[in-house]
Amino acid sequence: RCVEALYIYFRANRFEEPYVSITKKRQIPKDGYSEEIEKEVGQAEGKLFTHRSAFSRASVIQAFLGSAPQLTLQLYICVLQQEVTVARSIFMVLSLLSIVYGALRCNILAIKIKYDDYEVRVKPAAYLCIFMWRSFEIATRVTVLVLFGSVLRIWVFLIVLLNFLGFFFYPWILFWLSKSPFPENIEKELSRVGTTIVLCLLTFLYAGINMFCWSAAQVELSDPDLISKSQNWYQMTVYYIVRLMENAFLLLLWYIYRTDFYLYVCAPMLFLQLLIGYCMGIFFMLVFYQFCHPCKKLFSSSVTEALLSCFKILYFICRRHKSTLLKGKVAVKSPENPDETRGSSKTIDSQNRNIHQSVSSNA
């Protein structure tokens, strides 16, 4: 495939193609107006687009089903041996870059699939934000899993299994709740069993991505393209809140059950650095969606508005809970108040009588 793509690329624009196709794309709205642009696409250019899309999907598969387990294993070996060799550090850096590149391609693919009717142009600032976002997120996630697995080896398999099964069955549960017909238009040559196997492989990849980072392409089996076209800010917010809490919980267990093996490591500083690193990844994600997303003008609501609404809901829940507690305290104290007022009035009356008696005796 690579040789074929190179052959098509070097032969492009040398010969006049007899057949061309016309594509229509709309520009991102500027000042409320959106123009539709027609573009002629030759056969060679169309084949190159197909190859590029296939390479992007292959890079995502290779990153999360190949490089991510490899990086986790290499880091785990370094922790157990208390030694980081030059060769192993080079392989770990290359694996991390491969995973980050796969996550970046996943982001770009998701944007192009969701906004297929528009001409999407990703700026260098957007690439930089995605790179920083994914680097912090994936590096801290892998480190947390390795540290937890080094002290609680059996429990880490349970954590990984629960995460994987949860994300694997999540699209199937949504598909079952939607009561949509079984997708038949994936490939004409595939039977129902073959289509089911393809969908299982797709959800398998989706679960593998979400094990390490947020999957920008959300699987929706009821959609003809199998990708959700809506931007669900609440689902993303819930994912990152739960993932941050999970990382903090795993680090806390590592801190409690750490052995003498980590005697020469400043555990509180490492704990804090990993949490700050994950928060830095969330920060770059917010910067990307708020300022650098190529289609941010098409959003019905921004990410800051979604976060503010989430915080308002949490504030309302906390305030309501606090008001119920105060009402409960007032209800408990209310029966005692009449007795206290009566007791205080009796003491005042007795003091007044004593004063009058003392005055009369002096007189």
**Average confidence (pLDDT) per 10 residues, the chain, 363 residues:** 51 55 66 63 56 66 86 89 86 92 89 81 91 94 92 89 93 88 70 82 90 88 79 84 94 87 80 94 92 80 70 75 69 52 47 46 40
Measured CA to CA in angstroms, residue 329 lies from 26, 291, 332 at distances of 61, 47, 5
Tell me the CB-side half-sphere exposure of residue 32, using CA atoms within 13 A. Answer: 0
Q: Which two tokens stand for residue 90?
A: 């080079």
pLDDT of residue 229: 76
Place of tokens 């528009």: 118
Q: How far apart are CA 205 and CA 197, in angstroms?
A: 12
Q: What is the pTM of this model?
A: 0.77
Closest CA to 281 of 109, 134, 126, 165: 134
3-state secondary structure the chain: CHHHHHHHHHHCCCCCCCCEEEEEEECCCECCECCEEEEEEEHHHHHHHHHHHHHHHHHHHHHHHHHHHHHHHHHHHHHHHCCCCHHHHHHHHHHHHHHHHHHHHHHHHHHHHHCCCECCCCCHHHHHHHHHHHHHHHHHHHHHHHHHHHHCHHHHHHHHHHHHHHHHHHHHHHHHHHCCCCCCCCCCCCCHHHHHHHHHHHHHHHHHHHHHCCCCCCECCCCCCCECCCCCHHHHHHHHHHHHHHHHHHHHHHHHHCCHHHCCCCHHHHHHHHHHHHHHHHHHHHHHHHHHCCCHHHCCCCHHHHHHHHHHHHHHHHHHHHHHHHHHHHHHHCCHHHHHHHHHHHHHHHHHHHHHHHHHHHC
Q: Which two tokens stand for residue 125?
A: 């600032």
pLDDT of residue 257: 86
pLDDT of residue 346: 46
Distance linking the first and last C-alpha atoms of the chain = 121
pLDDT of residue 363: 35
| Crossing angle (nearest 10°) for helices 68-81 and 192-212 | 40
Q: How far apart are CA 59 and CA 45, in angstroms?
A: 21
- The domain spans of the chain are 1-294
Phi-psi region of 42 (alpha: psi -120 to 50; beta: other; left: phi over 0): beta
pLDDT of residue 83: 81
Q: How far apart are CA 302 and CA 289, in angstroms?
A: 8
Report the greatest alpha carbon distance in the chain: 132
Measured CA to CA in angstroms, residue 89 lies from 156, 167, 210, 262 at distances of 24, 31, 25, 20
pLDDT of residue 299: 75
Write the single-letter amino acid at 346. Answer: K
Q: Which two tokens stand for residue 227?
A: 């990708």
pLDDT of residue 240: 93
pLDDT of residue 348: 43
pLDDT of residue 178: 85
